[in-house]
Amino acid sequence: MKSIIAGLALTALGCSAFTAQANTPNMGWKKAAKSDINWNYVSAGYAKATVKNIGNDDVDLDGYQLNARYLLSDTIYLHASYNDLSGDVGIDDILGLELEASELVLGLGVRQAVTDNIDSFFEVGYVRSETEVVGFEKSTSNGFQASGGFRYLIVQNLELAAALRYNDGSDTDSSTFGDISARYSVTPMIDLYISYQFDSDASLLGTGVALNF
């Protein structure tokens, strides 16, 4: 039941933002669709995940991540992300196993300008996750992700973003997690970013460089 409620809440969040903007006096959809926030970029960076209470302790995995957004129209865009991580899982004081994990997300999003420097967005996508203890069988899960959130350009060179994301996989329990990030514009083409995703059981920290186009 909690998973269903979380999914419905995400849908309501996205729909309410667009409805409120559409009902604003003297502001049509096309005018509202324009903002100062860039939605066309690719990024790459370092990623570190912490998973709580596996074996005798928390497990730290690190690796890399890739992200991309591309506008198909004023409001609709493609989004993609990929994380590839690995690390050691301690079984006891002597024995340890190597864990590898990856996640691919592909989907569509809808964005809407709330003001010139604030955009709301709603995303849906396909998720494929793979985990493997090296030397043992690989586990694969397919599912979907739904997200809703906002991007806020505080000043010309600094942007903050926050989102609530819901995952439901074929072989894993559904989960809802927060996603916060910051971007600093070094040049019109290059941004530095830091992001943090979290729930009660795990977290993912990412930092890297984004190329705008």
Every domain of the chain and the residues it spans = 2-212
**Residue-wise burial string across 10-34, b where 16 or more C-beta atoms lie within 10 A, e elsewhere:** beebbeebbeebeeeeeeeeeebee
Instruction: Give the torsion through C-alpha atoms of 178, 6, 202, 173, to 10 deg.
Output: -150
pLDDT score of 10: 42
Neighbours of 137 (CB within 10 A): 7
- Whole-model pTM: value is 0.81
Most confident of the following: 6-20, 46-60, 160-174, 176-190:
176-190
Task: Please report which confidence band the pLDDT of residue 171 belongs to, taking 50, 70 and 90 as the band edges.
Answer: confident
Q: Which CATH architecture has domain 2-212?
A: Beta Barrel (2.40)
Q: What is the pLDDT of residue 1?
A: 35
User: Cα dist. 10→49, 58, 121, 148, 166 in Å?
Assistant: 24, 30, 11, 6, 8
pLDDT at 53: 67
Could you read off the pLDDT of 103-140 as tens digits, one per residue? 999 999 999 999 999 999 999 999 999 999 888 878 99
> What is the predicted pLDDT for the residue at 137?
78
